[in-house]
Structure 1
Amino acid sequence: MQFTAFNFHPTLLEGIEASNYDNATPVQEQVIPIIMAGKDLIASAQTGTGKTAAFLLPMMNHLIGHHHSTKVSGLILVPTRELAIQIGQVIEGLSYFTNISSIAIYGGSDGQNFVAEKKALQTGADIVVCTPGRLLAHLKMGYVDFGSIQFLVLDEADRMLDMGFQDDINTIISHLPKKRQTLLFSATMPEKIRRLARTILHEPAEINIAISKPPEKIVQRAYILHEPQKLPLVKYLLQTIPHRAAVVFCGRKQDVKQLARELQHAKMKVAEIHSDLEQSQREEVLQGFTSGRIPIIIATDILSRGIDVDTIDLVVNYDVPHDGEDYVHRIGRTARAEADGMAITLVNEKEQTSFAEIEQLLGKPVEKATMPEQFGTTPPYEPRLKRPHGGSGRHNGNNNGKRRNFNQPNAGRRR
């Protein structure tokens, strides 16, 4: 389905074309008509499905003819500054030929940014994208007027609640007019999300698209190994698998720093992102990554939901994520839009049970790759999972505990 079928304003269609959007994704086909009809919405969609444009385009189309030059009309709440920046950049691209103004408001920036944010909130920006904590800081100063809000979007609502933003969200919503259109997007739909939806949505439409499953086009593989084998294997994978852009996720920032140093010593162009960096430093790294100047980023989970770069074709999990949702969001950084991608997870002996639980969430085993001979022997894959009746058993995927061979040259082939 082409975007012209939605009857968007001509200036918005110009921005869509300039942003290289071709055909609408399935989530966009379902969500856009609902929002354009003025209905509240609760939507569950996996990462990489195009949900950002799904809520931005109908909102922007409406605001082109109904914007208030001195008021905020659309408010988008997000869990992280990286996601706020990302959505802000998408708005800038799509609104280039329109009269829509916008600003991204997030913590961790300097006093000069706070002054600019204050000015935008006082003089009016059509769309404000923000993290709850930062917006609450402005609200407490008493100069924010949200009386003209027409749209409220909660993006990655499950993540915001997991991060403890429930009270902040409730306080922010108390400053908004009751007559508004509210859109809630979440990767998962636990009871706490449904409770929130019941309190802030009015007779919402509900859309569910492939909850908690990564796109099928992502090639997933796992190496079962000993912990000391991880670092040399990562070097090998990054040197032998062709890629335009790669992200290596580590659970701890100490591992990020160590791995970045080792890869730099190996003469590889890499940069790191973690909470010890200033916001300006993170933005500089991301700019280098999106431009292609830096082909490899080593990052903590701070980046797992906060980056949308179409050229990422390789994701490596240096360790097993804490749960299935984190796994889905990590590997969802690749195979964006219509592209393909590969996700490789390194699993040591202590992480086997956690990885088997992720396989249960996926509904199928992840292919176990054969370790190249030069790295030595590896442990068998023998995770211990609790059976439904309370006992324990071994989970061996679909290979009876034996790792299957895969064609190493094909492993790195760009699809």
Structure 2
Amino acid sequence: MALFAITRYLGDDNTEEQSNKADAILKKLQANAEARRKRRGIGTWNTPQDNSKKKLSSEKDQVKNDLTPKSGEKIKIGKKSKLKECDETGYADSDNEVIPKKKRKGKFDKEEKTSCENNNSLQAIAQGSESSKLGSNADTTTKELKFRGKAKSVTSGDEEEQEIEDLELGDNGQKADETEVMGDTQEGAHEYGGFTVLGDYKSKQTERVSRVLPDWLSSPNVIASDLKQKTTLVSEFKGLDPDIHLNLKENKIDYFFPVQMQVIPEILDTVRYGFVLGRAGFRPPDICVSAPTGSGKTLAFVLPIIQALKSRVLCRIRAMVVLPVRDLAVQVFKVFLQYTKGTNLKVGMIVGQKQFSVEQHALVRQRVGGLESKVDIVVATPGRLVDHINKTPGFSLTDLRFLVIDEADRIMEHVKQDWLSHVENAVFSGGRTAPSSLNVYNSCKHHMPLQKLLFSATLSQNPEKLQQLNLFQPKLFTSVVDGGSLPRPLESEGEGNKDDQVTDRLSGPGGEVKGQFVGKYTTPLGLKEYTVEVEAFEKPLVILHFLHNLQYRHVLCFTNSVESTHRLYHLIRLFGGINVAEITAKLQASRRSKVLKKFQNGSIDILICSDAMARGMDIDDVQYVISYDPPPYIKTYIHRVGRTARAGKEGTALSLLQKKEFHHFKTMTKEAGKTYIEKFKVHSKEMEGLLEKYQAALQQLQQVFMRERFEQR
């Protein structure tokens, strides 16, 4: 095969030249092989034909000698048989000389092993036939047995066991192992027998990589989650101007919550020397706040922004608040209007609630020198904001100083729409350059910093997602601590014990406040949480039991779909005796605001809504939150139950769960550090009085749906 390959390779040369070259190459290969054999001490080179002839001659002579017994001697296979001789000493030559066995590798080992097996097989056959001819000893029987690929004759039990042991043991009395033939099994590449062995690397257990967060995430400034700790009066709070104190008094705010006590001074410190240059010309750090719902996060950024901008001379857009949904934007817009009274600051809102041309007219006006802004503070949603950046002439963000991102975890989902890059490109344009490294050259330039303020009850701890916001040396303020350190709530513990536990948990050695931001979420301490085990068909009846038998009022009920909301609304309305209303994403904004006002005034007993209401909406005096359908995610649950127990008040949250849904619910709430939630039991006997009227309402419900379908056609 090698000669054929060489001939093909040599090309168009004549046949004689090809043959000469092939012979020369073959001789050279044989010489190299012979040299390697001499170095290994194997001996002279024999062709495969010579080896086979030599083996066949040796086998014939061996069989002939074995078939010739001595006088008076019985044929018996002892411990030192030819089989063992071949194993221990080597292979037999034609002249009955035993050639010492040497360890070889590869092809040579296979040839020697085959030779020994052939010899052993012939010996066993010859000896078996001879003993059958003689038949001198009837008690001695011969059997042919293959043991590890070799034939053995067995005479008695003791000799059989000894024979097996002799075969299994090597020259040194140890068991022969294939690893001896293969040489050293040391780990890694090494030399053996003139060859480089790549080695067999032992498998090692992979060490688990511990999670390492950035310093600002792993060591945040911890905020007390107990809103009842009203330690600072508004009148004693330093840093705010008298007109802001007056507005706070008019809105009946006498105390600052913990999140406001820490975040407001931090923002005011960055504008100590004016909002244009920042703190002594240095770029201020961005601020992230993660605190429970209803803890006063909105006021924590509204007051310092008004304090910083109230002394401005020209009207420019210097602060912008971006929110994920329209309802939240309207709510924040109203808060700004309340606290800008008595100042020259103007607030605008662009959320798509009005026509685009009307919003343009409210943002920009025509002057002799050109277009100029009519507002100082803008409250917007991401999509509408990008539209005005691209299509509204004179809508300039080159003077923007504060960029507030409320409900930041939800906003990060809209980063894929590239709204943030549009805002940053609009800010750093018209001669305003993006900040760069601090050096002598850049320190001589005038740079107005752009400070980002992030607020959310469920702020993500994923550095990769936060990196999309391009934060600069951020500082984190959070009431979120390690869930593993939270004690299991007991029914016997009072509110005083809970306060002591929180104080111990937040205080480190020497009274220093420390914390860990590990993705856990907290809820207000005034919130009581329960689970109710029910079947799917019993859920409407349980809601009616809460309303009629237990007299629940000011109830906010959440479902997972618009259809479930609409069906439950009609069922409670047809049952009678309860003022009920519904809010879904399909409802117009004007009608939605009217329904919310009625609910806050107490005209509506239960408000049924989808998760569109679950995030950020501030509704006064919600006493009960019922999850008619289980929340799919932990963030949804946190925002649902956060509609009650706001501003230090108390509230109750109940989740209606089927038996199969408890496992997912418990696994989900563990992410918030809630290892135990008490069960609220509802007995079927308590609902028997409602069954007759409930069945009548179900029959009427079918007629209502048929009428609605007919009207839609």
Instruction: Decide whether the 8 Å contact of 2:360 with 2:392 is kept in 1.
Output: no
The 3-state SS of whatever aligns with 1:37 is: helix
Which structure has more relative contact order (CA 8 Å, sep 6+)? It is: 1
Q: CA RMSD in A?
A: 2.1
Give the corresponding residue for 2:360: 118
Q: Distance in 1 between matches of 2:313 and 2:654?
A: 46
The amino acid across from 2:400 in the alignment is I
The amino acid across from 2:579 in the alignment is K
Give the corresponding residue for 1:131: 381
Give the corresponding residue for 1:148: 399
1:183 pairs, out of 453, 473, 488, with 453
Q: Distance in 2 between matches of 1:269 and 1:95?
A: 37
| Equivalent residue runs for 1:7-406 within 5 Å | 7-38=239-270, 39=284, 40-66=286-312, 68-69=314-315, 71-107=316-352, 109-111=353-355, 114-122=356-364, 123-143=373-393, 144-162=395-413, 166-177=417-428, 178=434, 179-186=449-456, 187-191=458-462, 192-197=464-469, 199=470, 201-210=471-480, 211-241=520-550, 245-265=554-574, 266-362=576-672, 363-374=674-685
Give the corresponding residue for 1:3: 234
1:190 is displaced (CA, Å) by 3.2
Change (3 A) 1:360 1:260: same
The amino acid across from 1:77 in the alignment is V
Q: Distance in 2 between matches of 1:21 and 1:53?
A: 11
Instruction: Decide whether the 8 Å contact of 2:479 with 2:522 is kept in 1.
Output: no
CA displacement 1:336-364 (0-9 Å, x = unmatched): 10211111110123422221123312332
Instruction: Decide whether the 8 Å contact of 1:160 with 1:166 is kept in 2.
Output: no
TM (normalized to structure 1)?
Answer: 0.84
The 3-state SS of whatever aligns with 1:172 is: helix
The amino acid across from 2:358 in the alignment is A
The 3-state SS of whatever aligns with 2:556 is: strand
- Rg: which structure is higher? 2
Instruction: Decide whether the 8 Å contact of 1:80 with 1:306 is kept in 2.
Output: no
The 10-residue stretch of structure 1 (326-335 or 213-222) with the greater mean CA deviation from structure 2? 213-222
CA displacement 1:201-251 (0-9 Å, x = unmatched): 322222122251111210111101101111111122133445552210111
Instruction: Decide whether the 8 Å contact of 2:615 with 2:639 is kept in 1.
Output: yes
Give the corresponding residue for 2:367: none
Instruction: Decide whether the 8 Å contact of 2:532 with 2:680 is kept in 1.
Output: yes
Instruction: Decide whether the 8 Å contact of 1:323 with 1:354 is kept in 2.
Output: no
The 10-residue stretch of structure 1 (121-130 or 309-318) with the greater mean CA deviation from structure 2? 121-130
TM (normalized to structure 2)?
Answer: 0.50
Q: Distance in 1 between matches of 2:318 and 2:596?
A: 29
The 3-state SS of whatever aligns with 2:623 is: strand
Q: Distance in 2 between matches of 1:162 and 1:349?
A: 33
Moved over 4 A (4+): 163-166, 240-244
The 3-state SS of whatever aligns with 2:256 is: coil
Q: Distance in 1 between matches of 2:671 and 2:636?
A: 12
1:164 is displaced (CA, Å) by 5.9
Greater share of strand: 1
CA displacement 1:114-141 (0-9 Å, x = unmatched): 3332123214212111110111121120
1:163 is displaced (CA, Å) by 5.1
The 10-residue stretch of structure 1 (326-335 or 81-90) with the greater mean CA deviation from structure 2? 81-90
Q: Distance in 1 between matches of 2:622 and 2:340?
A: 25
1:172 is displaced (CA, Å) by 2.2
Give the corresponding residue for 1:397: none
The 10-residue stretch of structure 1 (5-14 or 144-153) with the greater mean CA deviation from structure 2? 5-14
Give the corresponding residue for 1:402: none
